[in-house]
Amino acid sequence: MKKILFTILLASSFISAQYTDINIVKEVKVKNKGVVVSAHPLASEAGAKVLKSGGNAYDAIIATQYALAVVYPQAGNIGGGGFLVGVKNNGEKFTIDYRETAPKKASRDMYLDKKGNANTDLSQNGRLSVGIPGSVAGFFATSKYSKLPMEKLIQPAIDLAEKGFAITDQEANLLNASKEYFQKHNKTSNAFVKNEAWKSGDILIQKELAETLRLIQKFGLKGFYQGKTAELLIAEMRKDNGIITLDDLKNYKVAERKVLEFEYKGNTVVSMPLPSSGGILLAQMLKMSGYENLEKYQHNSTKAVQIMVEAERRAFADRAEYMGDPDFIHDKTLYLISDEYLKNRWKNFSFTQATPSSDVGKIIKQPKESTETTHISVIDKDGNAAAVTTTLNGLYGSKVVVSGAGFFLNNEMDDFSVKPGVPNMFGAVGGEANSIQPNKRMLSSMTPTIVLKNGKPFMIVGTPGGTTIPTSVYQSIVNAIDFKLNPNISVNSPKFHHQWLPETVAFEKNFPENTISNLEKIGYKAERWGQLGRTEMILIDDSGNIHAVADGRGDDSVAVE
Ligand code: DON
């Protein structure tokens, strides 16, 4: 049964335990309690229960991610990767980069045919599209900051996989729509394909995944990167054109990187550095629109949107040219986010007309649109905060399920620039900085972000959405800070997206039409998109009230400890 509570819960009385009873809670206001916001109510609950049993924000974020790997198979994962941004209550800031890496046998032109044409079907689907998964290593790296034993944090996920849970409408629709791809890429049976169509309330049981999680519970990191699970993953590679080896798995390492931080209107924004472009783009966009005093204009008015679109245009042109794995390229972050550079970049902005994309970067080619990832925002009662965005890249990743182990593998290799100028599945183009090399991390757009006010968490925010991630996070932040909108409206009001190429600006379908037509008159080309992002926001006001909002665009849900 599905019960949707759209009301604001002013107390932390949300209790639901049965996996057939899916309670979606969209907004909560509490004090002195921990909260978890994620894409699925059962995953948020798993995190909140951990908080209740004495865990901190980092315990909760681990438990929530394991649970998402079960209840949100389209994007939650152990076969993908992600980024965590954390701020502890003693002020310590840290990130964990558990982005996938290219296999050792990967090479710059691996997706090009003899004539040099890119075959993006291979970078986007099937075994050759898979990067070395980083998620499980990421969970273990996070446990340096958590309190409870890993065996305990993984148990809710095991129970959910073993006993099953009722799927939502959205999950049923996605599983049905993906059936032909699952069948194309998997010759053996798996939990995600059945003869009749899935419908809301059907129970999804994942016995093989439960067993894989048990191996992690018993053997730790080695339960995934070595032994039975690793061998099953390699056997899966051998069925077709996969190139990941046992050594690749054994050698996978997370990277703990210094946070990317900058000041914005008296707040400190703490976000993810390279190999995610997210933090840099966010800094560039906020600073450039700040030069026009964005707060003077009205939310989603013509001038406000124009300023923001032009900031997005310039930032995404830089993404294509300069950004990649900092362990492989010259990292220009400090220059790219400096006022010296950005003020100069902003010089050709004009209210009278759209800036042609060719005026802000080297034009190359045509894009298209996005699919799935997922974000979690957590704060505990002691003020520790965590923001995680994690992904398989596309919806259900490569669509390949590791036979015998029950989990989807990512198709993250497509986030590399497979050939200069050839767009990836999000239409992002790139060049040498993001070219494929063995062991290199592919450039990301994920933007898990924590905004601090007087050194304490004020906002914890992030979203899925491929290249629309940084622009959605940007808009959610200015909605709250510049336009002073409440967290619900900051998240749920219609958004827009521009990424330099293509020249078009995408507007969510309920976006104010008069703003769109005013922009069209001065040279902007508009496109209507269904939805942009699934933003999970926690905002802590000056009195210590915690407002948590789960995006209304999906089954996203808040849980309180
Ligand atoms: O890392 C990235 O930027 C992409 N792989 C994220 C993919 C994504 O957000 C898909 N979701 N809607």
Quick: pLDDT tens for 362-373: 765 443 434 479
From edge to edge, which strands make up the β-sheet containing 496-497? 496-497, 505-508, 526-529
- Determine the average pLDDT of the residues in 344-363: 94
315-328 b/e with 16+ CB inside 10 Å = b?
bbbbbbbbbbbbbb
Tens digit of each residue's pLDDT (9 = 90 or more) over 431-443: 899 999 999 999 9
Q: Which atom, in ligand 1's list, is nearest to the CA of 442?
A: 1
User: Can you say whether residue 393 is alpha, beta or left, with left for phi > 0 and alpha for psi between -120 and 50 degrees?
Assistant: left
CA–CA–CA angle 354, 358, 361 (5° rounding): 115
pLDDT of residue 363: 63
Q: Give the residue, by CA position, lying nearest to ligand 1 atom 2.
A: 444
Structure tokens at 197: 């169509």
Q: Band the pLDDT of 10: cuts 50, 70, 90.
A: very low
Ranges assigned E (strand) in 272-397: 374-379, 385-391
In tens, the pLDDT along 67-119 reads: 999 999 999 999 999 999 999 999 999 999 999 999 999 999 999 999 999 99
Active site residue: 142, 212, 373, 449, which one?
373
Helix (H, G, I), strand (E, B) or coil at 6: strand
Question: For the chain, what percent of residues have pLDDT higher than 70?
Answer: 95
ω into 438 cis (within 30 of 0): no
Average pLDDT over residues 477-503: 97
In angstroms, the Cα distances linking 48 to 37, 88, 473, 490, 539 are 9, 18, 24, 24, 17
> What does pTM read for this prediction?
0.95
Token pair for 519: 């922009």
Quick check: 378 and 60 in contact, CB under 8 A?
yes
Tokens (6 digits) for 496: 């827009």
- Ligand 1 probe mutation, 101, 373, 429, most atoms within 8 A of CB: 373
Structure tokens at 392: 């398989």
Which residue is associated with the tokens 């990941």?
A: 244
Do residues 555 and 40 make contact, with C-beta atoms less than 8 angstroms apart? yes
pLDDT value of residue 18: 46
pLDDT at res. 3:
38
SS3 readout for 212-280: HHHHHHHHCCHHHHCHHHHHHHHHHHHCCCCCCCHHHHHHCCCECCCCEEEEECCEEEEECCCCECHHH
Task: For each of the domains in the chain, give its residue range(s) and CATH number, in order of start.
Answer: 69-256+384-434 (no CATH), 262-347+359-369+447-560 (3.60.20.40)
Whose Cα sits closest to atom 5 in ligand 1?
Answer: 393
Q: How far does the centroid of ligand 1 lie from the alpha carbon of residue 461, in Å?
A: 16
* Segment (H or E) for 41: helix 41-52
How sure is the predictor about 22, in pLDDT bands with cuts at 50, 70 and 90?
confident
Q: Which atom of ligand 1 is nearest to the CA of 445?
A: 3
CA dihedral 300, 301, 305, 306 (to 10 degrees): 170
* Section 37-53 average pLDDT: 98
Closest-CA residue, ligand 1 atom 6, reads 466
Map residue 146 onto helix, strand or coil: coil
Ligand 1 center from residue 445 Cα (angstroms)? 7
Q: Is 515 one of the annotated active-site residues of the chain? A: no
